[in-house]
Structure 1
Amino acid sequence: MTISTPPPFEALLDEAAPLQSYKDHLAAVAADLIRGFDTGVPVADLLHAKAAVVDRLLIACWKHFLGDRADGLCLVAVGGYGRRELHPHSDVDLLLLTAQPLADNKSCADPVAALFRFLWDIGLKPGQSVRTVEECEQEAERDQTVITNLIECRHLCGDIALFQQLEARLAPERLWPAQAFFTAKLQEQEARYHKYHDTAYNLEPNVKDGPGGLRDIQIIGWVTRRLYGAADLIQLVSRGILSHNEYLELNRARDFLWTIRFALHSLAGRCEDRLLFEYQKQLADRFGYLATDGNQAVEEFMQQYFRTIKGVERLNEMLLQLFQEAMPSRQASTPPVRVDEYFHSVGGYLEAVNEELFRQRPLALLEIFLALQKNPSLLGIRASTIRLIRGSLDIIDDDFRRDPAACRLFMQILREPQGIVHQLRRMNRHGVLAAYLPEFAKVVGRMQFDLFHVYTVDEHSLFVVRNLRRFTLEKHREELPFAYDLSRQIAKPELLYIAGLLHDIAKGSGGDHSEMGERIAGEFCRRHGLGDDDTKLVTWLVRNHLLMSLTAQRKDIADPDVVHEFASAVGSEAYLNHIYLLTLADIRATNPNLWNSWKDALFKELYAVARRALRRGLHNPIAQGEICAARRHDAQRITERLGLPAATTEIVWANLGDEYFLRFAPEEIAWHTIALAGCRDADLPLVLLRPESRWGSAEAFVYMADRDYIFACSTAVLDQLNLTILDARLITTSHGYVLISYQVLEQNNAPIENPLRQTEIADRLRASLLHPTDQAMRVARRQPSQVKHFAVRTQVYFHDDAQARHTVMELLATDQPGLLSKVGQAFTRHGIRVLNAKVSTIGSRAEDVFHITDRDGKPLATEAARQALHASLLALIDEG
């Protein structure tokens, strides 16, 4: 591309034009480039055109400021500018090469300073360094990033002989030979991958530096230049290292990533390489992506992005391995070592015995992964064989998928004692898993545009299988001891792996993904020869993989009816074991920040009470009276052991009804009882903080005369203290007092261990309850900036409790500071009493459940009462 009106930099300099003139010309260039981008000019042309404009500017400035005084000086473009790749706000990296230190060249020092000052003044913001040839050599020898920057250097103006000296000093035979350079770049890439958690599937990926990004393509170019002296990847095709199709794929990927980066710079108005949420939707619209059934346009765009970088990662891995094999030190390689009839190893990598293997024996496309499992000392698959696999994926057709031998091989991979997850990931990386399971192909690179699911669906599913495997391994036993012990009781762990692999396979297909997944899982099980019982278990797990999570986190598991309903849905202890392990693996694979001690204790509790119900018999559910009596008995044994007389205990309990004993465990009841037994009127409101409860969280305990503002005020204070409220249980006594138990953690899910912090929480909470004010109910904590891109429409639903004891209110809203306090204020306006609150935050989405009554302890019977509360909630929540 050529700029329509080339800026007359020479004329401007000769006329000593004001600085604004240069800024205006550069702004006109930028606008011209943006117009070109919007009208479909290839992005490569735009990058080169921008570099050409900067070249003209620098050459004109060089002549103007240095003129005939440039002996022994040379201006050199390095880095991306050296490659002629300038995005709208890319750095312009320059090297001023000098024959002698600039300080010793008085006649040039001032003009050079004036040149760079001028470039800064007009807004070019060059990245500049001034070095002699010797200094360049010394710096490059010390730091591989310097040699990387310099091997792409390009002469702009000045002493050409000096530039040629630099090129000679940087030659591989003199500095950083190919093997050393290659090793350094591998280490650099490994460190860069670690920075991004070793996954390309981040919610806000970095287009330039993230795994599979532009840097992965640049590394291929740098190594090619160092190893072969080739400036263009096309020379890899002529050398037989890169196929023509792979070359085209790499170029398409580079152009796609360049296009995104160019658009990011223009949208942000600065150098921005992160694909932030605020830009993802804008780019999807700008590039013309459309919503499809069950998927937003932004999700379609991001799926193409993730699939593109996955391809770059794959090519990067293959080419770097080929480069390693081509190193002079590897030329005299050891002869192949036979592994089996179809494969041998070369340098520790598995290789097909001939190039026609997969055409002659299609089953070898699965056998190669089984061979890697059976030979764990092997490092992986040789690059030449990776290429053969990718070129043979068309062999995996419906006949292949229905072949009983292929199905047996796939099941054997899932049943091997080692390497299951490694090989599933390798199969996914090389396209075999998507070819073998066409439904899985649909979720490869599929993201969900929210703050909850931090991985693509395929990556998440493989993480679930990984977690299920970790539960079985002794070396990970201490991570989740209960899950480890339970996994030892699973007779066929491969059934769990199948359920984990398929549980989200229908995501993005429209409709209920659990129902659709159940059908896909059934077809998979029948095709792979699983018996009726095994098929029934797998399909039930896929259909109900959210059952335990929803029950534990959104229902009152202290309610015997809730427990009985869950146990009835599960049906047997064997199914309970499987759903427990799958649920834990699923949650821990959704978002690394989701799991905490509270969830660990919560799911263990639901498991325990459900197992008790199953063992007792679903036809014989435990009565509420039995539960109350048993808990009273167990709690009294604890209080007596701690020295509290039985008579005192009975006095404390006299005002607490059965509801209290249904909703608290014996050790909680005992702690509350001891606190209340020693409480005087002067101590009210009584506020205590227990740093670790049986739930693995801290318990904030409040006891005081009942007042309407208590819930709103106390939740506001806990929010102001940056605490996460996980659960709230409120009991109103028969003599007009309220007892509240909050389960809380620090916002980073850490326990509250510091005694000073514990005192601060209790003191602040008590002071606010003693003297409630409007200010006490305001939460000034800032909302995370990401949340604004995922606003959730506030919705309120009311349900009748099965036994007509209370009303269940569900609230869906954007998570925000002070949300619970606003709910509490609405309750206060309408005389609502809270019996129980389940608080759940999923990314930016708050999903809270409240069990409420009116002021007289009755359910909200009239539609008018519900609608009035609904209106107040919307007004309070949406005002901020």
Structure 2
Amino acid sequence: EARFVWGAVHLFDKFKTRFQARFDAQHFFDGKWAEQLARHARFDDSAYKLEPNLKDSPGGLRDLHTIHWIAQACGITGGWNGLAQANLLTRLEARRITHVETGLSGLRIHLHLLAKRREDRLAFDYQTELAAQLGLTATAHKRAGEHLMQGYYRAAKLIQRANDILLQSLRVRLFPVTAPPEPIDEDFQVRANLLEARTADLFKRKPDALLRAFILYAQRPTLAGFEPTTLRALWRGRTRINAAFRANPAHRALFMSLLRQPRGVTRALRAMHRYGLLGCYIPAFGRIVGQMQHDLFHVYTVDEHILTVLRNVRRLTVPEHVHELPLASKLITAFEKPELLYLAALFHDIAKGRGGDHSELGMADAKRFCTQHGLDKTDSELVAWLVGMHLVMSRTSQKEDISDPEVIAAFAAKVGSLRRLTALYLLTVADIRGTSPHVWNAWKGKLLEDLYKTTRMHLTSGEVAVPDTSTRQAEARVNLALYGLPNTAADALWQHLDPRYFARFDALDMAWQARMLWQRTDSPDAVVRARLSHAGEGIQVLVYTPSHPDLFARICGFFARIQYTILEAKIHTTQHGYALDSFQVMDLVNRGIHYRDFLSFVEHELSRDLDPARPIQAVPRGRLSRHQRHHPYSTTVRVETDGPGHGHMLSITCADRGGLLFEIAEVLMRHNITVYAAKIDTLGERAEDTFQILGEALNTPAGVEALVAEIRKALKQ
């Protein structure tokens, strides 16, 4: 680009002449193409960041500038109208892109003025104010800032499509393809490793080819994409996908055929989505395109999350990835009709943003779609049930005591069959892994796997899965013998434990605890032992000490100070007044410390902190992130009866921050509440914590209200 501003015009003309004489258009294209790839990589190739860069993100203004520059290198001037005159755009498309470019440029100017500096990132701090300046207002189910961002994401998607199509078209002008085409059938051929329609009017003559093109794309993994003319025709052909098209039985059969392909399903559906066809074929999907989820743990728009979950289900079928999730990979290979899982993935969040329960609304959408597409009653009901129940397994595994036979029996009753259990397990794994790169961990995987196996046992036997404690004890004794300990080594500890202990811990944990506490069962000093967690991530910590009221708060404070998060706590009190507590904890900052040194550090420092004579050390209060401040998540605190003889259940959902668990533990300590189990579920920037508690304050409504009020106050400060 060059513009004459001031000076001698003849010198400017001379400069342009010399520049054009030396200009290598092919070299320029290669350089700009590489530059764009590198720029996109800086943003993880995603246009859907929570705080996108208006200029440099994929789908940003720089993608439009790149089209202009390469078009000029090809001798096409005049901007979007010039591209229309060159038959690379229609007049309508040129007007739409001009409108989007003008809108983003204006938004960027507003952003600079609001920030009082050059600022191209649509940060949370500015989204609400920008929405107000542009006249956007909140509606029943969306904030004004969310309307702003959905408009931005849809604009970015349009720019991405235009960038794909136009750069490929310009590439062909600069690098003409001379290789002869390879015919596939009467309608399609492959040219230069790109799928090409054999006639320009194919999609007009045969609308079903709009779907057949993507089936061929799925079947041929070596294809690099679509030939530019064909790509433009596909994009323009999306308008043919109307109610009559969707009602055509042949078209419905083709879509199901795409889902049943042995390979390439994810990339084909992503391509359909990228070029606007998927949202036309499934209108409910089209409505959630670009819809952000400000729930503090999803980092993708709803449409991107859905396709990521679908990819995760498909990934389970790939032999190269079996090592990631061996059980899930084994189960999906034996699962009949995996396309049912893909449909459940497509519909599980499709009703978000409508108000009401998105699971129930999506369930109705899924049932209708499956019936229309020829699935039998059993299969249609399975898909709809999966959509309606897709949150249940994760909630059960992460919030309830899955060692409790009653919990397993209740969950098994909801599931009803082994086929449903397997399908729900596979969908749940894929869903959690598709929310954010930081939500899934090995511990959550182990909880889900344990819940699956225990429930499977219950469903196949038809009986309540009561733990065989005598077998566990026998296995623990065998394990102790491997370490050269006598057969009676565990008796000194076990004589002080009630049956509930043996139901909550497995044989390996019981053996480890007995070995660590051999000849220490009456120790006046705290015994702290740590080891790598058998879940595959984090560490397991054993605390054995004379019980005292502030013990849980001290332990929570210690891990908060060293920036470790507690995933689960099993807290047991022996019959002679000792606390026998087990904690699963994980590093929040991944410091890469040698594990032996760190285990020794935990054992020494935590033992010191548990001395009742020492004051409880303060924990610096964590600060809320900008995302949490600008998209506040409502705090809920509930206390419910946890069944006869089981005490109470305290459930807390709120924005996560450093020291949160310690603050809760301090409130419980002040109310003389004993925690005997805790499940700490951190979902991105949101905490969903569940505590099983006992205490006299819980015996009266006034006591419960006072506890809830103080917890709320602590969380708001």
TM exceeds 0.5? yes
Q: How does 1:581-730 map to 2 (within 5 A)?
A: 581-617=426-462, 620-623=463-466, 626-679=467-520, 684-694=525-535, 696-730=537-571
Report the residue type matching 2:608 in the other structure: A
* Rounded Cα–Cα distance in structure 1 between residues aligned with 2:309 and 2:445: 17
Cα distance change, pair 753–664 in 1 and its aligned pair in 2 (3 A): farther
Counterpart in 2 of 1:127? none
Contact 2:76 / 2:83 at 8 angstroms: preserved in 1? no
* Rounded Cα–Cα distance in structure 1 between residues aligned with 2:615 and 2:59: 52
Kindly indicate whether residue 215 of structure 2 is the aligned counterpart of residue 358 of structure 1. Answer: no
Contact 1:795 / 1:811 at 8 angstroms: preserved in 2? yes
* Rounded Cα–Cα distance in structure 2 between residues aligned with 1:774 and 1:796: 29
User: Secondary structure of the equivalent of 2:549?
Assistant: coil
User: Secondary structure of the equivalent of 1:392?
Assistant: helix
Contact 1:720 / 1:781 at 8 angstroms: preserved in 2? no
Contact 2:679 / 2:689 at 8 angstroms: preserved in 1? yes
Alignment partner for residue 559 of structure 1, among 404, 409, 412? Answer: 404
Report the residue type matching 1:621 in the other structure: V
**Which structure has the larger Rg?**
1
Counterpart in 1 of 2:714? 876
Q: How does 1:539-550 map to 2 (within 5 A)?
A: 539-550=384-395
* Rounded Cα–Cα distance in structure 2 between residues aligned with 1:587 and 1:751: 25
Q: How does 1:563-582 map to 2 (within 5 A)?
A: 563-582=408-427
Counterpart in 2 of 1:11? none
Report the residue type matching 2:703 in the other structure: A
Report the residue type matching 1:392 in the other structure: G
* Rounded Cα–Cα distance in structure 2 between residues aligned with 1:694 and 1:635: 19
Kindly indicate whether residue 601 of structure 2 is the aligned counterpart of residue 760 of structure 1. Answer: yes
Shift of 1:162: 4.9
Contact 1:294 / 1:511 at 8 angstroms: preserved in 2? no
User: Secondary structure of the equivalent of 1:729?
Assistant: strand
Contact 1:685 / 1:703 at 8 angstroms: preserved in 2? yes
Cα distance change, pair 707–775 in 1 and its aligned pair in 2 (3 A): closer
* Rounded Cα–Cα distance in structure 2 between residues aligned with 1:374 and 1:213: 32
* Rounded Cα–Cα distance in structure 2 between residues aligned with 1:602 and 1:721: 25
Counterpart in 2 of 1:255? 102
Report the residue type matching 1:224 in the other structure: A
Report the residue type matching 1:629 in the other structure: S
Higher RCO by CA contacts (8 Å cutoff, separation 6 or greater)? 2
* Rounded Cα–Cα distance in structure 2 between residues aligned with 1:691 and 1:375: 45
Aligned residues: 717
Alignment partner for residue 226 of structure 2, among 344, 363, 381? Answer: 381
Cα distance change, pair 562–695 in 1 and its aligned pair in 2 (3 A): farther
Kindly indicate whether residue 267 of structure 2 is the aligned counterpart of residue 422 of structure 1. Answer: yes
Q: Percent of aligned positions with the same letter in both sequences?
A: 38
Contact 1:500 / 1:582 at 8 angstroms: preserved in 2? yes
Shift of 1:795: 2.5
Cα distance change, pair 665–697 in 1 and its aligned pair in 2 (3 A): farther
Cα distance change, pair 361–232 in 1 and its aligned pair in 2 (3 A): closer
Alignment partner for residue 791 of structure 1, among 608, 612, 632? Answer: 632
Alignment partner for residue 801 of structure 1, among 624, 638, 642? Answer: 642
Kindly indicate whether residue 353 of structure 2 is the aligned counterpart of residue 508 of structure 1. Answer: yes
Counterpart in 2 of 1:315? 162
Kindly indicate whether residue 239 of structure 2 is the aligned counterpart of residue 401 of structure 1. Answer: no
Alignment partner for residue 694 of structure 2, among 842, 845, 853? Answer: 853
User: Secondary structure of the equivalent of 2:714?
Assistant: helix
Q: Once structures 1 and 2 are overlaid, which stretch shifts more, 248-257 or 420-429?
A: 248-257
Shift of 1:562: 0.8
Shift of 1:819: 1.2
Q: Deviations over 1:618-643 (max 9, x none)?
A: xx2134xx533332232222223323
User: Secondary structure of the equivalent of 2:271?
Assistant: helix
* Rounded Cα–Cα distance in structure 2 between residues aligned with 1:519 and 1:303: 25
- TM-score normalised according to structure 1 size: 0.79
* Rounded Cα–Cα distance in structure 2 between residues aligned with 1:413 and 1:286: 45
Report the residue type matching 1:862 in the other structure: T
Counterpart in 2 of 1:243? 90
Q: Deviations over 1:648-668 (max 9, x none)?
A: 311211111122112211111
Q: Deviations over 1:368-425 (max 9, x none)?
A: 1112223333322222222222323232222221211111100111111111111101
Counterpart in 1 of 2:213? 368
* Rounded Cα–Cα distance in structure 2 between residues aligned with 1:637 and 1:538: 45
* Rounded Cα–Cα distance in structure 2 between residues aligned with 1:678 and 1:214: 70
Q: Once structures 1 and 2 are overlaid, which stretch shifts more, 161-170 or 426-435?
A: 161-170
* Rounded Cα–Cα distance in structure 2 between residues aligned with 1:769 and 1:427: 59
Counterpart in 1 of 2:19? 170
* Rounded Cα–Cα distance in structure 2 between residues aligned with 1:815 and 1:784: 9
Contact 1:698 / 1:752 at 8 angstroms: preserved in 2? no
User: Secondary structure of the equivalent of 1:837?
Assistant: strand
Report the residue type matching 2:115 in the other structure: A
Cα distance change, pair 848–268 in 1 and its aligned pair in 2 (3 A): same
* Rounded Cα–Cα distance in structure 1 between residues aligned with 2:85 and 2:358: 48
Q: Deviations over 1:343-381 (max 9, x none)?
A: 233333222233322222111111111122233333222
Kindly indicate whether residue 674 of structure 2 is the aligned counterpart of residue 833 of structure 1. Answer: yes
Contact 1:716 / 1:779 at 8 angstroms: preserved in 2? no
User: Secondary structure of the equivalent of 1:835?
Assistant: strand
Cα distance change, pair 542–820 in 1 and its aligned pair in 2 (3 A): same
Cα distance change, pair 561–749 in 1 and its aligned pair in 2 (3 A): farther
